[in-house]
Structure 1
Amino acid sequence: MGRTQEQRRAETRALLLAAAADQFANKGFHATSAEAVATAADRTTGALYDHFGGKEGLLIGLLEQWIEQTISDLTRSLEGETDLDGRLGALWAGLIRRDSESGDAWLLLEFELWLHAVRDPEIGTVGAERFRMMRAGLAGGLEDWSEEFGFELPGPALDIAAQVLGLLVGAAFQYRIDPTAFPQPVVVAGLRRLLGLPSADGATLSRSSAPTSKPRIQAGATP
């Protein structure tokens, strides 16, 4: 059966976004023309302007798409992890896997989006909202984990989420240049410090080992 107009438009939009992500990451936003994106997507420039209004619209579209993609990636990374260190490691592994699966383009595009967001108020507004949603989602997850594994967050959940996000993205930028600088145990240890937890020393908090009476683990205490 033939595809509907809505399906064809959705396909064109997806192809243009994928082409823009690749072109912007590898060549830079300003060095990439709308025509180059359209050609890479095997679509017309008119189709690009119809869907997005231009390159800036493509950037906004990418930011909005990545809000959903980030949530999906994190959910997939955490599936099946039943101990705290496993989940902290999965946060990191999700970023690294995403960069690898996208041909190392994710981090390059992330930086390109950030550069343009700080220079363009409209893009900056969308970018700021994207980070607000990421912080809020992560804060909710951290609160759930503190209840599940019986420890107390060392500060407001939103503040801790911002710090965790900062560590993960900052580590990813360094990892992109020198993977040996940030093996997963180093990242997990840093995340434990942010959560006010002692060094794991080979032990992890799991649902089965978490205290049933919900006493809180304070920074420097022994789990």
Structure 2
Amino acid sequence: MPSQDQRRAETRARLIDAAADLFARKGFHAVSAEAVAEAADRTTGALYNHFGGKEGLLLALLEVWKEQAAAELLAGFEEEITGLDERLAAIFAALTRQDDDRGASWLLLEMELWLHGARAPAIAEPLARRYADVRARLAEGLSGWAEAAGVPLRRSPEETAVAVLGVLIGCALQHRLDPPAVEARAVVESLRDLLGLH
């Protein structure tokens, strides 16, 4: 029989998963706390107990997605330089995958969070911290990769991280609406340019 801590962790995870799916498909404002609880097969009281409400649930979701985004981005720069093009293409593929519900909803959820944060100061600050943390971790990965590969970056690792993240997210947004117009090859070439490899 699961312990109370295990049951609480499972409830929390189920609510976050349900929120990720519903917020991405329908939008944050269109989804009620009751709908999230029902989708997670939990009570609305459990949602309020764990998160204090829908805004708190969104903040928790930000933390989960921050870790996932940082892990996917950093994985691409931990390989040898000989496989860099493949790793860069894999990063872009991870951001644009639509082979499962989570992959297809990631970009929609990302934009939903950004729009909500742009309009709600309570969300804007943690969202900005999330991006700052992802950029810092990416900058660290870029710096380590450049040193190991013997390829000096054209800009500081921090500035390079801003540009790399901008290219990836901007291209992923365009790809979401018109996949044939945004080829992985062109994205990889743009990233190589940023990294000073042309």
TM-score normalized by the length of structure 2:
0.92
Q: Does 1:66 align with 2:79?
A: no
Question: Does structure 1 retain, via aligned residues, the 8 Å contact 2:89–2:188?
Answer: yes
Partner residue, 2:88: 88
Shift of the alpha carbon at 1:5?
Answer: 0.4
Q: Distance in 2 between matches of 1:45 and 1:83?
A: 48
Q: Distance in 2 between matches of 1:168 and 1:100?
A: 19
Partner residue, 1:140: 140
Q: What are the superposed Cα offsets for residues 16-63 of structure 1, whole Å, 9 maximum, x if unpaired?
A: 011111111111111111111111111100000000111100110100
Question: Does structure 2 retain, via aligned residues, the 8 Å contact 1:77–1:94?
Answer: no
Partner residue, 2:113: 113
SS at match of 1:175: helix
Q: Distance in 2 between matches of 1:11 and 1:145?
A: 37
Partner residue, 1:47: 46
Q: Distance in 1 between matches of 2:74 and 2:188?
A: 18
The letter for the 1-side match of 2:157 is A
Matches within 5 A, 1:117-132: 117-132=117-132
Q: What are the superposed Cα offsets for residues 117-173 of structure 1, whole Å, 9 maximum, x if unpaired?
A: 111112111111111111111111111121222211111110110000000000000
Provide the aligned length of Structure 1 versus Structure 2. Answer: 196
Q: Distance in 2 between matches of 1:57 and 1:71?
A: 21
Partner residue, 2:162: 162
SS at match of 1:32: coil
Q: What are the superposed Cα offsets for residues 173-211 of structure 1, whole Å, 9 maximum, x if unpaired?
A: 01111111122111100101112221xxxxxxxxxxxxx
- Unpaired runs of 5+ residues, structure 1, are 199-223
Q: Distance in 2 between matches of 1:166 and 1:12?
A: 35
More displaced 10-residue stretch of structure 1: 21-30 or 163-172 = 21-30
Question: Does structure 2 retain, via aligned residues, the 8 Å contact 1:84–1:149?
Answer: no
Q: Distance in 2 between matches of 1:147 and 1:80?
A: 13
| Structure 1 or 2: more helix by fraction | 2
The letter for the 2-side match of 1:149 is A
Q: Distance in 1 between matches of 2:196 and 2:75?
A: 26
Shift of the alpha carbon at 1:78?
Answer: 6.1
Q: Distance in 1 between matches of 2:83 and 2:90?
A: 11
Q: Distance in 1 between matches of 2:78 and 2:151?
A: 21
Shift of the alpha carbon at 1:80?
Answer: 6.0
Partner residue, 2:8: 9
Partner residue, 2:18: 19
More displaced 10-residue stretch of structure 1: 11-20 or 69-78 = 69-78
The letter for the 2-side match of 1:139 is A
Partner residue, 2:178: 178
TM-score normalized by the length of structure 1:
0.82
Q: Distance in 2 between matches of 1:59 and 1:196?
A: 38
Identity %: 56
Q: Distance in 2 between matches of 1:27 and 1:64?
A: 21
